[in-house]
Amino acid sequence: MAIGAFDPAAWSGIVLSDRPGRGFAIRFAIERDGERADGYDFMHIVHEVGPHAPDGSYARISFDTYLPLGKGRDTPTVTKTGRVAGLKLEWSVVDRDTVVGRLDVSYSGTLELRGYFPWDWEGAWLMAPNPWETTSDADLVVISGVTSDGESSLSVKLRHSSNLKEPQPATTAVDQEGDAVVTLVVTRGDRVYFTASMSEDEPTTPLHSADGVAVDAALTSTHDSYDATRVRVQGPWEGLASSISNNLNWMVSIKPESGRRYTPAGRRWIFPRAGGGRDHWTTFCWDSFLNALELGIESHELARDTLLAVLETQYGNGNIPNWRGRFAGTPDRSQPPVGSFAVLKQYLRTGDRSLLETAFPYLERWSEWWRAPKGRGTRRDGNNGGLYQWGCDLELLGESPAPWENEASHHQMAAWESGQDDLPNWDDAHWVEETQTFDLDCVDLNSLLALDFDCLSLIASELGKEETAARYRGLYAELTARINGLLWDDVRGMYLDRLWNGDLSPRVAASNFYALLAGIAEPEQAARMLETLLDKRKFWGPYVIPTISRDDPAFNDQQYWRGSIWPPTNYLVYEGLRRYRFDEVAGELASRSVELFLRSWRDYQLCRENYDSRTGEGGGHTHQSWGPLFALIGIEEFIDVTPWEGLRIGSLTPPPKTSLENMVIRGTKYDVAISSGGIHVTVNGAETLRSDGPLVLRQAQLDSDVIVAETLSLEPVTLAVLSGGETVRVKCDGKATESPARQVRVPAGTHHVSISPRNT
């Protein structure tokens, strides 16, 4: 049974499905002063994208009904501070096949419930009395639905608590489209309760009859239960964790034919279908892999489903496409290869070996797809020079249901494969018809393919495939040597794109720093790259990181990837800074990313697609699923786990006193507080470790008996052990001492520390 707001066009609705390809949906619409909001209209009047438990046990969303309705992108953007939502919807899945809910009304007009069959599901709605219903309660409205095969039914009940002196009875009808329509005349202060159940035996409890007292109690209980256990951040970054889970959990949809949950790029990112209308789903490649990392903050199950959903879009030749829906896709091109990185990182968080076992064959075929023989080179190494270029397989092109694709040049299609659709770097590249690639060896693609080899080798080792791991290590070494030999410019201190005529590009994009994430640069090279990143004439500033250098002629375009700031770029560069232990700069990037995101989120409840590098104002789509990657960067300042650092805790440039609670990594719950005064770590409810200054721990092992970590601090710090016996044995860089005070003074810089009971 799947129950949730799974229809992308119906944020104000709920889908109930007892098996793939069959089920029902209900959604709410409103009319006020002659204006109407339904379906996607609610995307433009959202007041609060509220909490949403991963299992659907509690969900809340509200809307600004005082705004002009049905105006789409022309709807004014207003601050939410001091305003009251006109309609608040709360619901809870209370058992396997039933959802109950409540709507609080703060406007005068009509509220409409529509029962419908989404996608290609079929059935019929009945307005006759429910066969199980024996009460003559005048406040209760009952509608019923049955699937076309007659094997499943739905009972929907509404109870209207009206403040009108003379309440008007509900009107019910089945419209020309076959939808069940219940219309209520509402006013400020009204409440509407509902229940929808696919139970074979109609429950008779007050809760299942939309009794207000029972529903109120259920919603309070499920809210409190979720709120007590969810990941949360308190302090100046308050709401940081919830900004991720609220947004992402409200994005989750399903593939109706399989029941697989997935996360689109946004609820509006469902592409057209041949013959008209929308496809049943649209999955984007690198969006989905990065979305899984966001979902994994609270739910490994949702993260796993999203990873499998995108892996399952793979074509027979190994391509995981730029985008794919149920009826169409892009067999001609892929997108940035970050899949093995995302899968490996999620595995390290959870220890779910079955995820690696399932994902690895897909990831291997995708890796081979980039390198498959083609022409005089390989698929994306058109000149057989040992480096790779973005491209498009012309022989696989077909008529697309997305009209903009049929009108696009082959050059544009190759740019789409990069994920950075109009990056100025591509302005100087030529489309080569013979090789079906750019004539440009691209730093971003080559870095990410190197990262892919690196992660595939680590996954293979985890699975005990040592020969395979060695093969990928060899591919990684070979590619990194080519990158260092051909793309490094010692004069400019950066890796640069290289034209096939041997010229290095004058342009520097934020994605040129992906070489850090892939571990390609030697320490001296990485230090020089950092100088470029921190140069305010190029990339640094109040709002970072622009997708193209500030001194590039295209910077002031601030159009899409031409100078604006994008969540995936910031996230991947942040990961690279951490890999090279540039913790101070990583912390600054985290703070600026968090501030950029939270301002738009707190003031406007918007989750923006990108941001202007000059003003910090949000742009693009208003609810983009990878928008909270900015917030994920902030979460990782508290605690993270990566292939190169193990468990990492702490920040060198923390915000004022801020705490993260209820973060679970491999079954262990961590609470981490960070501030200029140090870190405080609690493990499974037991206070474990504290420092008196900012500190980063890597390769950390924390339990009640032993603490082992690599430490990094800018100043000497004292580590205090908060659990265990009175006296402990301390080793710092191999030198052992005993400490009756259960603490150790650690010098500035990097050190290896272990703290254990005296007799260990």
Q: What are phi and psi of 79, to 5 degrees?
A: -70, 150
Q: In 10 A of CB 150, how many CB atoms?
A: 9
Element (H, E) at 725: none
Q: Which two tokens stand for residue 572?
A: 């991947």
The burial of 375, by beta-carbon neighbours within 10 Å (0-12 exposed, 13-18 middle, 19 or more buried), is given as middle
- Residue 562's DSSP bridge partners are 559
Please report which confidence band the pLDDT of residue 130 belongs to, taking 50, 70 and 90 as the band edges.
very low
Please report which confidence band the pLDDT of residue 726 belongs to, taking 50, 70 and 90 as the band edges.
low
Please report which confidence band the pLDDT of residue 141 belongs to, taking 50, 70 and 90 as the band edges.
very high
Would you say the C-alpha torsion 512, 513, 514, 516 has a positive or negative sign? positive
Q: Which two tokens stand for residue 663?
A: 């973060």
Cα torsion through 512, 518, 522, 528, rounded to 10: 30
pLDDT tens string 473-488: 999 999 999 999 999 9
Element (H, E) at 689: strand 686-691
pLDDT surpassing 90 at residue 755: no
**Residues 257-265, mean pLDDT to the nearest whole number:** 98
Top-confidence residue, 237 or 739? 237
Q: Which two tokens stand for residue 215?
A: 């529903």
Quick one: which of 14, 18, 23, 16 has its CA closest to 1?
A: 18
Identify the pLDDT of residue 725.
Answer: 62
Instruction: Compute CA distances 521 → 339, 411, 515, 532, 535, whole Å.
Output: 22, 30, 7, 14, 19
Tell me the residue length of the chain. 760
d(CA 556, CA 424): 11
Identify the pLDDT of residue 93.
Answer: 97
Identify the pLDDT of residue 284.
Answer: 98
For the chain, the helix, strand and coil percentages under 3-state DSSP, each to the nearest 5: 30, 30, 40
Q: Average pLDDT, whole number, for the chain? A: 95
Please report which confidence band the pLDDT of residue 736 belongs to, taking 50, 70 and 90 as the band edges.
confident
List the single range of 176-180, 640-644, 722-726 with lowest mean pLDDT: 722-726
Kindly give, in sequence order, each residue whose CB lies less than 8 Å from that of residue 684, ignoring residues fewer than 6 positions away: 668, 669
**Residues 578-594, mean pLDDT to the nearest whole number:** 98
Please report which confidence band the pLDDT of residue 138 belongs to, taking 50, 70 and 90 as the band edges.
low
pLDDT surpassing 70 at residue 134: no
Number of H helices, E strands in the chain: 15, 43
The pTM of the full predicted model, rounded to 2 decimals, is 0.97
Identify the pLDDT of residue 137.
Answer: 63
pLDDT tens string 263-288: 999 999 999 999 999 999 999 999 99
pLDDT surpassing 90 at residue 548: yes
Phi-psi region of 419 (alpha: psi -120 to 50; beta: other; left: phi over 0): left
d(CA 537, CA 630): 23
d(CA 670, CA 656): 20
Would you say the C-alpha torsion 603, 609, 343, 5 has a positive or negative sign? positive
Identify the pLDDT of residue 31.
Answer: 98
Identify the pLDDT of residue 185.
Answer: 97
Identify the pLDDT of residue 724.
Answer: 64
Instruction: Compute CA distances 322 → 331, 332, 339, 419, 530, whole Å.
Output: 8, 9, 13, 8, 31
Identify the pLDDT of residue 723.
Answer: 73
List the single range of 36-45, 161-170, 586-595 with lowest mean pLDDT: 161-170
Quick one: which of 682, 689, 757 has its CA closest to 718?
A: 689
Please report which confidence band the pLDDT of residue 128 belongs to, taking 50, 70 and 90 as the band edges.
low
Residue 429 is classified by DSSP as P
- Residue 702's DSSP bridge partners are 707
pLDDT tens string 594-630: 999 999 999 999 999 999 999 999 999 999 999 999 9
pLDDT over 90, % of the chain:
90
pLDDT surpassing 80 at residue 393: yes
**Residues 431-458, mean pLDDT to the nearest whole number:** 98
Quick one: which of 641, 675, 645 has its CA closest to 660?
A: 675
d(CA 519, CA 515): 6
Token pair 């375009």 is found at: 557
Identify the pLDDT of residue 199.
Answer: 87
pLDDT tens string 208-243: 999 999 999 999 999 999 999 999 999 999 999 999
User: Which segments of 338-463 does DSSP mark as H helices, in order?
Assistant: 339-350, 353-370, 403-406, 410-417, 443-462
d(CA 243, CA 504): 41
Kindly give, in sequence order, each residue whose CB lies less than 8 Å from that of residue 264, ignoring residues fewer than 6 positions away: 8, 251, 253, 270, 281, 282, 283, 284, 287, 625
DSSP assignments along 461-509, one per residue: HHTT-HHHHHHHHHHHHHHHHHHHHHTEETTTTEE--EETTSPBPS--B
pLDDT over 70, % of the chain:
98
d(CA 389, CA 98): 51
Residue 167 is classified by DSSP as P
Please report which confidence band the pLDDT of residue 154 belongs to, taking 50, 70 and 90 as the band edges.
very high
